[in-house]
Structure 1
């Protein structure tokens, strides 16, 4: 069956919905096609532990977080960055607050109220939603879908692809689109896990601390700066924000170090360790002299042995404990992905050079950033940018590529 639409958005995650909003606000008739039974599943899952929308941070510092993708993303973030994200959410009657680290959350601490308000606004713009519509590529100028009612062909004046990355396949981001675009001649960078835990082959004694958080530590990878961050010891390895923030350098082979006592100098630690320990084991001496909790003490025993005998050398080991691991967890377990459509595959409007009137947004593009509001903000910004560019083409002539 065939149908024709003015504007087609494929993917109902944050980038796709933002593109649909920009198109709808411009008066274009929009159809959103989503492969899963409901929209924004990954967005909802991310919001279960508190929806970190963006970050209150000086703009230049914010943009620099995107590393080599920063020059490409800069104009999009300037147009729809942290301040605009906050105004947009508050315009949906979702009051926000900024935590001590600058992370910005809805006061409701959930994604569902924001999503419901957003979908109501889109409905008021006349945006239509089709779920269980899986994009299969093109046949000439027609966009192909596999649906519960069989194959569908859609002729669209403009199309925005916002199909996500290649992690959390059960929520819709399975990266299946990469093969379709590669076959169409679109240059791609390989997918890699970002914001992901580490695999560790633990010794048997570590089982007693599985599930315990590690707090009050600092981490560093390679020659980077030390940064504070918590993580959790799990049966599968190490998980949590402190680890995720260093995903890229660790993935690229940098040595991961932990400062288990960042508020204490090496000299202070050595002085405490120089106290007589009597008949106490070294483990008990560490626990009593330094007040190390079971989780940090277990890490010392796992990664620090053979432990140096002298207090100065032992203190230095605690200040730069090498964390041995077997690499990142699998791609599908990552919060986000690096890789995707290369920037030279799109023009300044995010339109595919190989397919005019087709725009890209969100994690499909080759950029990565740590958690902490950066991921969602760039998805919103690229969705808004692509949607506005598509809307301009739609208004100018309602013609397809």
Structure 2
């Protein structure tokens, strides 16, 4: 008798949209399209998104999933009707680990924030009377990971989201339509009037066990970030990805700095906890402006930028710049005396243009000192987004 054939369940077929936002891309879902168990936080949701992306993948390729095997392309977004008054949608972001079975929900993705507005309009979350035939729709986004408001100003042509245009973003090959993002009250100060500098200092002496002591600016604006001087680590701020990502010793040193910063910022209680919080905080190297050639071969002149910044995401040097880290950069640059501000030449500024591996980016921030405490009211940047593919994603069960 032939051996009985084992029964295998068919794949799930879930409505989904694959979108680029800024220099990232990810799989977007409407929450109510997910299986019931995955509509709420927990292991079922994490397992589903891991399988959608193709993680964990010991080969580091995401061949059997929608991920791109980089921190910029290993992302999922869940959009739901707004749970907070005066908002249009809830936006929940999951950073999916590439080589471990882990989804990090601890922060936002500023780049994918750009795609939330277009997705909300195209998927019926915005009332028709608010969508002009030609003009701009302001989508009021509740960023559910961190409890903050983002305003996305989305262009509309012929009653539809305008995706094509001539606005260019360094790190994105082709031009598209400009979307202006406003991050309101982007500091992580818990709304109690506390400082966005968790230690109370603009510059700290950060002791990193086994590595050394470094000057650091620790800030929670956009995303918790640890800024250190590139020079203190033997860099000049013009490095591209291979210089750091191909150097395992350098990556280990930068991870040690990240862990020390997380402990000092009270984001974690023990060094071991850092493994469960890979998305935050970010570590970034800052340096005065210096000419370099970007990863695409484009020359960047020193007088075209205020400073150079190189940031790490999920343990690797980012190919461009994370949107949330850009908010942190602009905010820190606006506060006289931080390492970011000093690298940019000091003084008072409400906008900064920095160099990153793929080119440059301009970001503005409005800050003020209230009763001796620095606070940020908003940060503004322009990005672009477009739908890459829409339909259904297939997900194996079991």
**TM-score tier after normalising by the smaller chain length:** under 0.3
What is the TM-score normalised by the length of structure 2?
A: 0.24
Greater share of helix residues, 1 or 2? 1
In our comparison, the structure showing a higher alpha carbon Rg is 1
What is the TM-score normalised by the length of structure 1?
A: 0.24
Larger RCO, structures 1/2 (Cα 8 Å, 6+ apart)? 1
Greater share of strand residues, 1 or 2? 2
